[in-house]
């Protein structure tokens, strides 16, 4: 039994990061397009982050953790964590972009740094809270 659980963790970690990379790339792509179209950075990140979060939950539920039980509870928990990460992202992007309001390249760089911070936060929160075994 312990070998199976240990193997599960070794299988899940790379899958979690793969899903994170896919949803993050979609997030960044949408953000970059919106910035290119002269969208306000906080509005752009609100849209791109939301779409990335929906993709992330769907793929993690089906591919990474293969969890079909307690779906409503998991969605609720995921939502709370995503909203907290979303607000944290908006705060950081807004704060850092106030320093560099007219530079699109710096705005993209700021988004990348903030994404790395949120990626680490999301990993630990979803691994140990959202998709834990009930």
**Could you read off the pLDDT of 98-129 as tens digits, one per residue?**
877 667 788 888 888 998 888 888 878 888 89
What is the reported pTM?
A: 0.69
**Contact between 114 and 89 (Cβ < 8 Å):** yes
Q: Tell me which residue of 61, 67, 52 sits closest to 22, measured CA to CA.
A: 52
**Could you read off the pLDDT of 22-81 as tens digits, one per residue?**
998 999 999 999 999 999 998 999 999 889 988 999 899 889 888 777 878 888 999 999
For residue 70, what are the domain limits? Answer: 2-130
Domain count, the chain: 1
């Amino acid at each position: 039994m312990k070998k199976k659980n240990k193997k599960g963790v070794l299988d899940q970690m790379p899958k979690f990061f793969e899903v994170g990379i896919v949803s993050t790339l979609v997030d960044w792509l949408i953000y970059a397009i919106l910035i290119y179209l002269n969208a306000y950075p906080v509005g752009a990140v609100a849209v791109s982050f939301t779409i990335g979060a929906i993709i992330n939950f769907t793929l993690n539920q089906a591919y990474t953790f293969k969890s079909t039980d307690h779906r409503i509870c998991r969605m609720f928990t995921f939502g709370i964590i995503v909203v907290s990460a979303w607000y944290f992202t908006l705060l950081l992007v807004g704060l850092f972009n106030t320093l560099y309001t007219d530079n699109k390249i710096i705005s993209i760089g700021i988004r990348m740094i903030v994404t790395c911070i949120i990626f680490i936060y999301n990993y630990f929160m979803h691994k140990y809270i959202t998709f834990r075994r009930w």
